Amino acid sequence: MRVFKREQRSLFGEILDWMLTPLLLLWPISLALTWLVAQGLANKPFDRALVYNVQALAQQVRMGPDQQVQFSLPQPASELLRADETDLVYYQVLGGRGEHLSGDRDLPLPKPNQVKGTSYQVHIRDDEIRGLEVRVAYTWIRLDAKGTPPALVQVAETLEKRSVLAAEIIKGVMLPQFALLPLAVLLVWLALVHGIKPLKQLEERIRERKPDDLSPLDDKAVPMEVAPLVVSVNDLLERLKDSISTQKRFLADAAHQLKTPLAGLRMQADLAQRSGSSEEDLKKSLQQIGRASVQATRTVNQLLSLARAEGGVTHLPLQSCDMAALSSDVLQDCLASAMDKGLDLGYEGVAVGTPGAQVQGNPTLLKEMVRNLVENAIHYTPSTPERQGVITVRVLVDPYSKALVMQVEDNGPGIPLPERDLVFQPFYRALGTNVDGSGLGLPIVKGIAQQHGATVSIDMAHPGQTLPGACFTLRFIDPAL
């Protein structure tokens, strides 16, 4: 569980943190590295002086006539060697057998693992004498080639001057950094302010827009990193524009479609209220009022179904729907109206509960889709004693592709090929029909089918006959969707 949780993150603050944190962390590392470099720089000139002193002392070591190592250092040279106001200088000269010839007896000897090297080759090491850290330069001197052990010359110096020089170097490097660090923070701050200015400008452009301005934003006038966000906003604006257009079209269509039945209701009501109207006239007016109200109710229901189909079902719960069961329910509901017209309404196909006959969808919309197909067939299929109208609903499962197929077939006049795409447009009605309708049933079917991953097509049910009929086929591409 997060103990500290920000309600809202600041992009400016987060970027500033990520830029300043490494800067502030690297600054102490820079101090440490500068100290190490300063120590190396401070050692170099003083090490050269030690090397010079060792070489000068080594020149004073020679082999005497009695084959004894001798060392003679004039008094002025000894005083000059130790004439240092800051550091203490020690030196030591030992013969080949380790006998002390001159200098400080307690100066530490080189470690056994330190190679003697060639004659007069100077080496440098760190050591300690009398509790003081010293820098020691030493060399071995071979005075003859008879195997005589080499003599040792050492010069040591304390580290005070080196520390002072290293401190001066650090001051010279770090003091400017103390001044540059706040300046760097300020420059980072100003750079971020300038960097996020396009976001502020984008915000101002959006805020200055009029409420009805849904035109896309210019994604070329923003930085590359913000362009995907602008593209997403433009996509949202486009979808919002489509949604508003759908709502406006729905309101306009509703007003247009309801105007006729409402006008009829008003006219029949006026006729019924005329003075001198007979009982028969009143009964006819009431029948017309009933038919107009039924037509208005059906139109309103279809408009609402169309709006729901065009608006999407992403917010509605999805469940496994058995298309055989849904079709059976719709047939039960439509049986009475089919019998009134003398139609033979039946079902063929798989039984309820058959594997593969299920789709993931919204049962209300799927039932509305099937109902519109069946009612459309009932309205447009004629039935006479000589030739009874037949409507068949099928639910089939392809044994090879496992695709679910649903068909509604009739033996009515059918739909000509040039009009098969037009009938899916709202309020379009096929030419030559005298059936009352609003032209909304098939657009509802297409909208719901698309939402459930299905395709809808129209074919002739009985090619070559006088009434070829129509066969509407719904194919669910993936029944699992």
Instruction: Please report how the helices 11-58 and 160-195 are oriented relative to each other, as an axis angle in degrees rounded to 10.
Output: 160
Q: Note the pLDDT of residue 256.
A: 57
Specify whether the CB–CB gap between 199 and 217 falls below 8 A. Answer: no
E strand map for 46-121: 61-63, 69-71, 89-94, 100-103
Pick the CATH number of 319-476 from 3.90.1150.10, 2.160.10.10, 3.60.10.10, 3.30.565.10: 3.30.565.10
What is the chain's alpha carbon radius of gyration, rounded to the nearest angstrom?
52
Residue 149 to residues 34, 95, 116, 146, 268: CA-CA distances in angstroms? 43, 8, 11, 9, 141
Position of tokens 């459930």?
452
Question: Mean pLDDT lowest for which of 14-18, 135-139, 431-435?
Answer: 431-435
Average confidence (pLDDT) over 364-378: 87
At 17, the amino acid letter reads D
Question: Encoding tokens for residue 79?
Answer: 């005083």
Q: What is the pLDDT of residues 342-359, one digit of tens each?
A: 999 999 989 998 888 899
Average confidence (pLDDT) over 143-155: 78
pLDDT at 74 over 60: yes
The DSSP 8-state label assigned to residue 425 in this structure reads: S
Q: Note the pLDDT of residue 35.
A: 79
Specify whether the CB–CB gap between 386 and 341 falls below 8 A. Answer: no
* Total-model pTM: 0.47
Q: Note the pLDDT of residue 347.
A: 92
* Core vs surface per residue 51-60: b (16+ CB within 10 A) or e: bebbeebbeb
Q: What is the pLDDT of residues 231-272, one digit of tens each?
A: 888 888 888 887 777 677 666 666 655 665 676 677 767 766
pLDDT at 450 over 80: yes
Question: Mean pLDDT lowest for which of 11-25, 71-85, 101-115, 326-340?
Answer: 71-85
Q: Note the pLDDT of residue 409.
A: 93
What is the C-alpha separation between 322 and 354, in angstroms, rounded? Answer: 8
At 109, the amino acid letter reads L
Average confidence (pLDDT) over 359-382: 87
Average confidence (pLDDT) over 44-53: 86
**Looking at the chain, which residues constitute the CATH 3.30.450 domain(s)?**
12-167
Is 161 exposed, middle or buried (CB count within 10 Å of its CB: 0-12, 13-18, 19+)? middle
> Mean of the per-residue pLDDT values for the chain?
79
pLDDT at 224 over 70: yes
The answer for residues whose C-beta is within 8 angstroms of residue 45's C-beta and 6 or more apart is 165
**Looking at the chain, which residues constitute the CATH 3.30.565.10 domain(s)?**
319-476
Helix (H) or strand (E) holding 471: strand 471-476
What is the C-alpha separation between 393 and 381, in angstroms, rounded? Answer: 14
pLDDT > 70 fraction of the chain, expressed in percent and rounded: 79
12-167 in CATH: which number?
Answer: 3.30.450
